[in-house]
Amino acid sequence: MRRFFPKKKKPDGLNFGKIGRKINVLTIRQQLICLLEKGEMNARELSRELKIREKEVYDHLYHIQRTLKTRAKTLHIDPFYCLVCGYIFEDRKRLTRPGRCPKCRQGHIEVAAYRIV
């Protein structure tokens, strides 16, 4: 005679496992998107807020830019500008901070600011 053992039904939402133990890349990107949807922030502020290096901020922004395309949203960039002569890096395709100003050759560049609209 076969005995029937009913399968224990696992309730939804109880399997938290490792979530919350470490912040993964996805979570940082989600936080970044969330921050930029709320208001404009520059790379320095984002790096401080998310406790990652400025270089990593640019890396995440690059991926976010691509993700947003599929969601009909855009990453609006308030471009880098030179603190010495006021040159604005309007046509810059790369997200990273430019080394020096092409006009006056100085290295005092104000970081770009971003927001998601």
- Per CB under 5 A, residues contacting Zn ion are 82, 84-85, 87, 101, 103-104
Compute the least distance from the CB of residue 80 to Zn ion, in Å.
11
Compute the least distance from the CB of residue 53 to Zn ion, in Å.
25
Looking at the Cβ atoms of 34 and 88, the one nearer to Zn ion is 88
Distance CA 66, CA 44 (A): 21
Distance CA 36, CA 26 (A): 15
Token reading at 66: 């691509």
Looking at the Cβ atoms of 13 and 102, the one nearer to Zn ion is 102
Looking at the Cβ atoms of 75 and 80, the one nearer to Zn ion is 80
Distance CA 40, CA 76 (A): 9
